[in-house]
């Protein structure tokens, strides 16, 4: 397998707090990788470092073998890294289709049709984005990410606010996306993680606690004690 993303000694300090501490991490092309961990484990800080939203205190980020540590977020998007935020970042006063077209830098609207169809929002293309239910706003964000045609799609808590039926559709969507793109998934929904992920990385207090297949992670005593509430 080809390594798409790698971090070496990646760290981020906020004052005296080590939010991410010396993380060595590799994602192979074509996999669905989940990053899980308790609140405050450093998950969102970690993916913010990968996407270029914040700068690391130490360490290196490689994408397709190229050092992108110093690149700003927009340049990483151009390289193929798309990040959908934990808090929705849509353009509230524009239509659903206009949001996606803007994300794709193709203001004509046609670029929005396929991504919206993939996330199940094609019938809401003309609706003002700010009037969507919260769960649908999350799906719109995913469509905006897909419109960028990324090599790596980072999804931060994408099922927050989705109904059970929408989560089932989301599972189908991620499997479809993973045929063409690599997916890095930050998610609290453990059944979904266990069903979707090829491999799981567990963060705790900014460091990697465990890594492996869903079965290996679920059976790990340290993970059960720190995260799953057992053991």
Number of domains in the chain: 1
198 DSSP 8-state letter: S
Pick the range with the lowest mean pLDDT from 56-60, 98-102, 108-112, 116-120.
108-112
For residue 112, being part of any structural domain is answered with yes
For residue 120, being part of any structural domain is answered with yes
Question: pTM of the prediction?
Answer: 0.90
Expressed as residue numbers, the domain containing 103 is: 92-147
Q: Quote the crossing angle between the two packed helices 96-103 and 134-147, to the nearest 10°.
A: 30
Give the Cβ contact number of residue 120 at 10 Å.
17
Q: How far apart are CA 34 and CA 36, in angstroms?
A: 6
For residue 109, being part of any structural domain is answered with yes
For residue 37, being part of any structural domain is answered with no
**HSE of 202, CA atoms in CB hemisphere, 13 A:** 23
Dump pLDDT digits (tens) for 13-72. 998 899 999 999 999 999 999 999 988 899 999 999 999 999 999 999 999 999 999 999
Helix ranges, 89-133 (H):
96-103, 113-119
For residue 36, being part of any structural domain is answered with no
Pick the range with the lowest mean pLDDT from 63-67, 80-84, 107-111, 117-121.
107-111
Nearest to 27, CA basis, from 181, 171, 184: 184
For residue 28, being part of any structural domain is answered with no
Nearest to 54, CA basis, from 32, 89, 83: 83
Region 85-107: what's the mean pLDDT? 82
For residue 133, being part of any structural domain is answered with yes
For residue 138, being part of any structural domain is answered with yes
Q: How far apart are CA 21 and CA 11, in angstroms?
A: 4
């Amino acid at each position: 397998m080809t390594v798409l993303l790698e971090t070496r000694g990646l760290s981020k300090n906020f004052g005296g707090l080590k939010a991410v501490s010396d993380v060595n991490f590799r994602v192979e092309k074509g996999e669905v990788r989940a990053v899980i961990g308790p609140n405050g484990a450093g998950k969102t800080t970690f993916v913010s470092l990968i996407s270029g939203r914040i700068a690391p205190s130490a360490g290196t980020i490689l994408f397709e073998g190229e050092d992108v540590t110093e690149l700003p977020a927009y340049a990483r998007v151009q390289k193929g890294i798309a990040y959908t935020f934990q808090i929705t970042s849509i353009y509230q006063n524009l239509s659903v289709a206009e949001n996606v077209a803007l994300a794709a830098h193709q203001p004509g609207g046609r670029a929005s049709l396929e991504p919206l169809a993939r996330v199940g929002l094609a019938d809401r293309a003309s609706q003002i984005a700010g009037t969507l239910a919260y769960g649908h706003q999350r799906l719109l964000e995913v469509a905006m990410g897909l419109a960028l045609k990324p090599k790596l799609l980072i999804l931060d808590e994408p099922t927050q606010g989705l109904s059970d039926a929408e989560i089932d559709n989301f599972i189908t969507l991620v499997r479809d996306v993973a045929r063409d793109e690599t997916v890095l998934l930050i998610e609290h929904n453990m059944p979904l993680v266990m069903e979707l992920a090829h491999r799981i990385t567990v963060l705790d207090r900014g460091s990697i606690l465990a890594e492996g297949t869903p079965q290996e992670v679920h059976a790990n005593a340290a993970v059960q004690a720190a995260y799953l509430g057992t053991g």
